[in-house]
Structure 1
Amino acid sequence: MTGTRGTYRKTAQRREQILDAAFTLFAKNGYTASSVNEIARMVGISQTGVLHHFAGGKLALLTAVLQQRDALAEEKLQGKTGRDFLAALVEISRVQAQQRGVVQLYRNLSTEAVDSTHPAHQYFHERLRRIADAVTQSYSEVLLQDGLLPGVEPRAAALNTLAMTEGLEALWLQGMDVDMAEGIRDYINGYLQRPL
């Protein structure tokens, strides 16, 4: 039994090494310009070894990298509604400021994936729709508690909040002196009767 657990642990560690290498390479070169062979070289195994752990090849690696990033953000949002959900969005931006590589990878890949033939196009499309729906729901919950300023429409507020978040990230990546979390907080507060 111990041998099986040891093998499983080694397999899990190798998968993490491969994911880390894929993340690094995708962040540096973008998805399109990266290859499974380069990832394999970074980890010190063969391309066949990478494919043993990620049978879907480069696309499976891309999906795993994106899911790993999203899972961490979703943990912070789990079970939160209304104002608490909006406050958690601010905290996610605060964490992102400590993870430049993650933000840069997401930005690079989301830009590449605007092309409808890109393997991650559907992923990003559905992810943005899911986030927009969740933020809309939160603004709607605040509205039901008379917490929005007069005339604020939840869907428009949600889409504008996402646009502001994406814009601040892009400015920050370009080296502008931007506090993403406080910028998002100020923006959201512009819709609320009572600031976060």
Structure 2
Amino acid sequence: MAGQRGEYAKSAKRREEILDAAFTVFSRSGFTGATVSEIAREVGMSQPGLLHHYDGKLAMLEAVFERRDQVALDILSGRRDLEFLRGLVEISRRNHEKRDLIRLYTVIAAEATNPDHPAHAHFQRRFDRVVSGTEQAFAQAAELGLLKEGVTPRDAALSSIAQTEGLQLLWLSGFNEIDMAEGARLHMQQFLTVEL
């Protein structure tokens, strides 16, 4: 039994190393330009060895983004209304320390707007989840009387997400003075009757 645990730990460590290599290659080449053989070379494995852990390039990409999204999910777990919105601000604050990951996300999210892109469904699901969660938080704020009159939770959610994504793009483009967390907070603040 101890041997199996040791093998599991080695396998889990190897999978993390593969994801680190996939992140490096995707950052350098984008999803379309990256190859499984390039990722295998980056991690120092054979292609069949790598495919033993992940069944292809898309599976690795999804795992890279799931690892990123898990941090956000942990921050938002159990939060409602204003606390959920404050969690979104915290995610923007942490993203400031992850420029390469944000760049990768932005490039591949843009590539995946093409319905034929292999990651299109993944990003569609992700955006649906983000919009739904943010809309629900604004709706909960409305139930507490904290949403300004005339503001719909859906519009507030879409506007807030668009603003956050846009700030990230500007920041990546060299506008380093941008404080993404404060920008997100100020933007969401305009929809609320209380301080966020």
- Shorter-chain-normalised TM-score: which range? over 0.9
Distance 2:78 2:28 in 1: 35
Distance 2:167 2:27 in 1: 19
**Residue 122 (structure 1) aligned with residue 124 (structure 2):** no
Distance 1:125 1:180 in 2: 23
Q: What is the match of residue 5 of structure 1?
A: 5
Taking structure 1 as the reference length, what is the TM-score of the superposition?
Answer: 0.97
Alignment deviations for residues 107-141 of structure 1 (CA, whole Å, 9 cap, x no partner): 01100101111111011111111111111111111
Q: What is the match of residue 78 of structure 2?
A: 79
**Offset at residue 68 of structure 1 (A):** 1.0
**Offset at residue 66 of structure 1 (A):** 1.4
**Offset at residue 57 of structure 1 (A):** 1.1
**Residue 106 (structure 1) aligned with residue 72 (structure 2):** no
Q: Aligned to 2:66, what secondary structure does the other structure show? A: helix
Taking structure 2 as the reference length, what is the TM-score of the superposition?
Answer: 0.97
Distance 1:102 1:143 in 2: 34
Q: Aligned to 2:79, what secondary structure does the other structure show? A: coil
- Identical aligned residues as a percent: 47
Q: How many residues align?
A: 195
Give 5+ residue unaligned stretches, structure 2: none
**Residue 142 (structure 1) aligned with residue 145 (structure 2):** no
Distance 2:124 2:58 in 1: 16
Compute the RMSD of aligned alpha carbons. Answer: 0.9
Runs of 4+ displaced beyond 4 Å: none
User: Greater CA deviation, 67-76 or 179-188?
Assistant: 67-76
Q: After the TM superposition, which residues 30-69 of structure 1 pair with which residues of structure 2 at under 5 Å, given as runs?
A: 30-54=30-54, 56-69=55-68
Distance 2:70 2:36 in 1: 24
**Offset at residue 3 of structure 1 (A):** 2.0
Q: What is the match of residue 166 of structure 2?
A: 167
Q: What is the match of residue 195 of structure 1?
A: 195
Give 5+ residue unaligned stretches, structure 1: none
Distance 2:131 2:58 in 1: 25
